[in-house]
Every structure is written in C-alpha cells, then in structure tokens.
Amino acid sequence: MASEIIKQITDYLVSAEVEKREVVKVTSTIKPDLTVEEAYQAQELLVQTKLDQGHRIVGPKMGLTSKAKWDQMGVSEPIYGYVFDYMLVDNGGVVPFQIHPKVEAEIAFLIGEDIEGPGITGAQVLAKTEYVLPALEIIDSRYENFNFTHTDVIADNASTSRVVFGNTLKKPSELDLDLVGATLSINGQIKDLGAGAAVLGHPANAIAVLANMLARKGQKIKKGDLILSGALTGAILLNVGDFVSGKFDGLGEVTFTMGE
C-alpha cells in the first residue's frame, strides 16, 4: 500500500500531465527530502495508475545515460521510466503539443528473450536483442522550466511524453552500434548530432544497466519489450509547426511534425 505522501506525489504529477500544465517540482512543494527509493515508489504508482486506466506498457526507457549528465545532476547511475501505448506516434505523423516538448535521437532495442540481472553485460544484451531501430523521443517534463532534481524526474516517469519509432529494423550484429551516427534536424537545419558511444560507451550498456537496476527489485527485462536506450544527441526545444527529422547511419530516417 502506497503511503499518503507517495500517493499525493503521483496524483500531483498525473494531473499535471493530463491537464497539460507545468507544476513546481515535488522537492519544492510536497517532499524536499524525496529519496531515490521514494521517487521510484511514486513512479511505480504512476505506472499502476495508467495500467488501471487501460494503457499498456511498450517498454522501459533510459535517461541520464551520459557521464556529463551524471556530473550535472550529481548522480552515479542512469534512471529509467516507462513508455505507454498512448505515447506512440507513427513515423511521419503529428505529435500533439503538451507543455514544453524537447526531442532527442535514440536507438531502440526490441528484446527477443527475457534479460534478468544482476551481472548482465552489454554483450549479453546484444545476444538477446531481436532488432534495433531508430527513434525520436519527445520528453516533456511536467516541471516548470525543466527545473528539477534527480529524484523529481524519476517520480515524473523520467519526463516521458511521446515516441516516434522508425521503420528500419536491423539485427544488432549488422551494425557497430557505438559508431552509429545520428543527426537531428528542425525545419531542415541540423541542430545536433551524436553517435551511439554517447550512451555509456555503447547503447547496449544502458540496457544492461537497466537489467541490473531492475534485478534489485526482483524484476527483469521481458521478451517483447521495446526499450529506448538513451539519447545520442542533446534535447532540442520544439515549437508548434516544427518539422523534425532524425537520420541514423544504417537505420534510416524518423520524422514528425509538432502539432498544436
């Protein structure tokens, strides 16, 4: 049974998402000393709330997957959240504007076998991955001005908002994923670029970390999960009407238009 304070945090963040409004961070309003454990408890209640509403989990997503982000946030490991079915937008489609959306280019992993930690390595992840594919993740923190602490963002489901997956599926053995480059363009202008190595040296390493983090709770990555491994590029702020394109070496192009 979730404590009253955890339920209050979850209700606060769920209503902010539904009502498309930004709120002051939890650590400024409800619980200044919010711990990582409590933040994940709030996230778990948020996830359960969405499942109770009839939504389906597509798979986990990783956040804070670069050493630079760790230093910036004062942490020593990534975070994770969950992507739901209502968050999916077709390649080339229109993404509904929420609060203050930003876009990142990512490589997604379609998992072919359960992956259960602890002690999972990137090599083991690759052996159990059916396909990799390109993705554009639209993050949209519910917090005012993207102002949050490490635990705030965990409770807020790692800022997850919308995802556009590409149509090109490749076996991981067909690509050197650490060397896969991506460019992120807005209205025809390249805004950022990066490569798979930006994600903990190799995107599969992020999935391995996830498996090991889940193992602490007796959980595992499941066959069929479609997982966002982390950002190859920076997060670019979007405006209504923007046409967004991510081009990935060997994985094709992913596009969307920012709607109203």
pLDDT for 1-34, tens place per residue?
569 999 999 999 999 999 999 999 999 999 999 9
Residue 47 has a pLDDT of 98
The mean pLDDT value for 121-147 works out to 97
Residue 124 has a pLDDT of 98
At 110, list the tokens. Answer: 């379609």
- Which pLDDT band, with edges at 50, 70 and 90, does 206 fall under? very high
Cα 47 → chain centroid: 14
- Helix then strand count (H, E) for the chain reads 7, 13
- Which pLDDT band, with edges at 50, 70 and 90, does 165 fall under? very high
Alpha helices in 86-149 (DSSP H): 122-127
Alpha-carbon distances, residue 253 vs 6, 8, 169, 249 (angstroms):
40, 41, 12, 9
- What would the pLDDT profile of 80-111 be if each residue is shown by its tens digit? 999 999 999 999 999 999 999 999 999 999 99
Answer positive or negative: Cα dihedral of 159, 162, 164, 170: positive
- Pairwise CA distance, residues 137 & 149, whole Å: 21
What are the two backbone dihedrals, phi and then psi, of residue 49, each rounded to the nearest 5 degrees?
A: -60, -45
- Which pLDDT band, with edges at 50, 70 and 90, does 68 fall under? confident
Q: Can you list the domains of the chain with their CATH numbers?
A: 56-258 (3.90.850.10)
Q: Which residue type occupies 160?
A: T
At 247, list the tokens. Answer: 């081009």
- Pairwise CA distance, residues 235 & 223, whole Å: 29
Mean pLDDT, the chain, integer: 96
- What would the pLDDT profile of 172-191 be if each residue is shown by its tens digit? 999 999 999 999 999 999 99
Residue 88 sits at the vertex; the CA angle it makes with 87 and 89, to the nearest 5 degrees, is 120
- What would the pLDDT profile of 42-53 be if each residue is shown by its tens digit? 999 999 999 999
Residue 1 has a pLDDT of 54
- Which pLDDT band, with edges at 50, 70 and 90, does 141 fall under? very high
At 209, list the tokens. Answer: 């970390």
Q: Which residues make beta-bridge pairs with 195?
A: 181
Kindly tell me if the per-residue pLDDT of 250 is higher than 70: yes
